[in-house]
Chain A
Amino acid sequence: MTPTLRGRWQSRLFLMGTLGFLVTIFFMIVFGSIAPFYLLVLVTVLGFFWDIVYTLIQKWRWDHDWPPAFQLGAGIWEMIVLAALVYGADIIGMAPRPDQFLLHYSAVWLAVFAGSQSLMRLVFPRWRYNGGQWLS
């Protein structure tokens, strides 16, 4: 993957809004709580900031790319920060059970990761050439 900043933002918005949202609805029903939805919104919004940082890191790499291992690393990093905000700063006002948080977060991450590797390419054939932009 060689995403650009606009591509990252657009892909994040699309995948969180589709696959991430579907996964979150499932967990909202299972957990009987609205907390997963707030978490989804929070992780998406924070992501817009992280994407700026990631794009800068890419410039240090000869290929300006973002290997899958970096995607995983970023996912773990974002989770740590999110957990700190949810449990430390009580930012959403309703901290979910840690095991539920971990399960939901992992499921969303996996769905988005898999979607970025496959679905995006199939639905948007130009996506892979446009640094992850699906809107022109």
Chain B
Amino acid sequence: MYNSSNQPLINLAWHHPHTGQRRMMSAALPVTIGRAADNSIPLDSKFVSAHHVRLEERQGEVFVIDMGSRNSVRLNNNDVSDESVVFHGDQLQIGPFTFSLEIPENSSVLAGPATQLLPTSQIQRVAKMTAHAAVTPVLPHQQPLIRDTGTADFPPAIFRKKIVPVDMLTRIVGEQIEETSYLAIGGGLGSFVWVDHLMVYGVKRQDIVSIGFEPKPYGRYRRLCRNSQIPDHERLRSNSDSCPDNLWGWPGYAVREIWDNTSHGRLGQAARIGWQIFNEPLVQTYTPKAGVVFDSIDQEAARIGWDKIWRHGRVRAVRKTDDGRYVVAYSLIKPDGSTEHKLILAQFVHLAVGYPGVRFLSDLQEYREKTGDFHHVVNAYEKHDEVYDHLEQYGGTVLIRGRGIVASRIIQRIQEARERSGRDIRIIHLMRSPNTEGQKAGLAQRAVDNHWEFQPFNWPKAAWGGDLRKKLENANTKTRAELLDQWGGTTTADRLDWRDMVREGLTAGWYSIYFGTVLDVRPHKKTGQIATKVMQNHGEVALAVADYIVDATGLEAGIEGNALLKDLVTHYDLPRNGKGRLKVTNDFALIDMDNGRGQIYASGISTLGGPFAAVDSFLGLQYAALRSVDNLTAQNAPGLRRLNGLRSLNQWTRWARGVQP
């Protein structure tokens, strides 16, 4: 079900509020709805804003975006602030209109990486969901709690309360509500690492539930890697001992790679890695291959029985209960793609929901919205392989914005395309200002080469486990934000091949750097390309004309983009940290969300600005997990025993033997 230009489709059905007439429409995404005539679906009602919502596809998921309308947007009776993911079967309310959303079979919207592994015949109604079910055929046993009639109030109205009385809830539902000790919301790497820690500390698998979109904990991470041109055989920007599969960080990926090479008789390669890890970061820092990390997570997932812990679903809301726990409303996604509304009670909750989405520079966002051209102006984290295919076939010019690690990899990918095809492919790298002097902090300073600034990882290493980690932890909210600004910033890894590539490109002329501020981006009338008008730093206006623009400035990290976090923060009026994210204790417990014995913890990017800098790294997830599980152990939470000395050593030998914790 594609249209001629292969765009993903969505079906909408609604009744006219006055005439009762039923309307149906099948449209290619993006779809806009509003009162104005230029919308894909114009609605005649004073309760509908001129441009009310927009439905678009991002990385295999469909989002509904509130276009800043004065009137509210509601999804399944929940207010949507800014934006939210939508699912097949969701009800979207705009003014007096209620739209039933259908995401048709084989829609490219849902073609995630897992889908591609399956023959097309297996891809049924909702391709991605079916594919997940095919990978994990057995879903945990569950009693249906609330019939999903499609119009039912969900989460139930009782969720409007700050404290939900459990007795009343049970009466409304009419059945016993499922209970668990530990609930990990997100189901991605953050949840996986937390669950792994719980189990190594002694918690039994049956006392843990995790809810998320992807059956593989690294599913979304791998998709972002692949989109940003890091396939499984390329190396990540991650430390050897940052191992999501191993609590201790030993043996790290370098030692494992040495071992693997040695056992296959590749002694030279083994020695080369040994030499590299010994000399790092003096020559070049060792980083593991993406595929090796994913394989190691698969092994650990099998060891802890992740498939019995994970449930395919989307969490809608979390509320405190009157018995010192939390009630969580979620949509369970069943193997056939239909959803079922469910409730679960949990004593301890962990929130790791990842980056809400892709962030565009505002001028590029505007261009995409105005022209509807989503193929020539792309984000590095979107799937955009066709850009390189086209370049290899016809040559062309790419304009790159941003100068971080993703920009480095994109340039390298274009260089590969140049070499492979022999075509005339050029890169215009647009930077806001020259960079000749690296950031300073205390006595130290970062290195700079050709306006690229380097550090091995995105924070100084001592912020991960040395004096800078302590310094940040001991600082107050304001100082934390300042320290993060000082240590962070846009940097790339000091890889020799990248430095050479930039130098060679500058000399040969296929890579050029321009400095200035973008005035506007519009289609170039003469050539049909894209023209970026730039106010250069010496005051002259220049026109940069390119076939493609790649926005390599990053991912959206604010918590507003995530409907669940936004709801939680608004409902309980939670405090924010100096970076506007969730305020957590040094043990990563959400401030003001404790409830009697109950506690909610968080990890990942939604805690940036708190006690730890590298929260969105593998090691950061491990650190947050260790701190929160230590904190739980100190509170005598069920099943946990202090991990140290012999117990730790014993658990490690179980890991090494591949025996369950």
Contact = CB atoms under 8 A, between A and B. Distances in A.
A125 B626 contact: yes
B279 A63 contact: no
A65 B444 CA distance: 11
Interface residues of B, number: 41
A59 B442 CA distance: 8
22 contacts: A2-B465, A2-B466, A2-B467, A2-B468, A58-B467, A60-B443, A62-B460, A63-B444, A63-B455, A64-B460, A64-B462, A65-B461, A118-B251, A121-B248, A121-B250, A122-B250, A122-B649, A124-B648, A126-B626, A129-B626, A131-B466, A131-B470
B461 A59 contact: no
A62 B466 contact: no
Interface in A13-64: 58-64
Closest 6 CB pairs of A and B: A2-B466, A64-B462, A63-B461, A62-B444, A2-B462, A65-B461
B135 interface: no
B247 interface: yes
Contacts of B369: none
Nearest to B248: A121
Contact of B281 (A7, A60, A67, A125): A67
Nearest to B279: A69
Contacts of A7: 466
Interface residues of A, number: 28
A64 B250 contact: no
Interface of B: 241, 247-251, 277-282, 438, 441-447, 455-456, 460-462, 464-470, 623, 626, 630, 643-645, 648-649, 652
Contacts of A69: 278-279, 282
Given A117-B250, A124-B644, A125-B248, A65 B466 contact: yes
Nearest to B447: A62
A9 B438 CA distance: 33
A7 B465 CA distance: 11
Pick the most buried of B241, B443, B455, B466: most chain A CB atoms within 10 A of its CB: B466
A59 B444 contact: yes
Nearest to A71: B278
Contacts of B441: 62
B467 A64 contact: yes
Contact of B468 (A64, A126, A128): A64
B465 A129 contact: yes
Given A67-B282, A72-B278, A130-B465, 10 more contacts: A2-B462, A2-B464, A2-B466, A60-B443, A63-B444, A64-B460, A65-B461, A121-B250, A125-B644, A128-B249
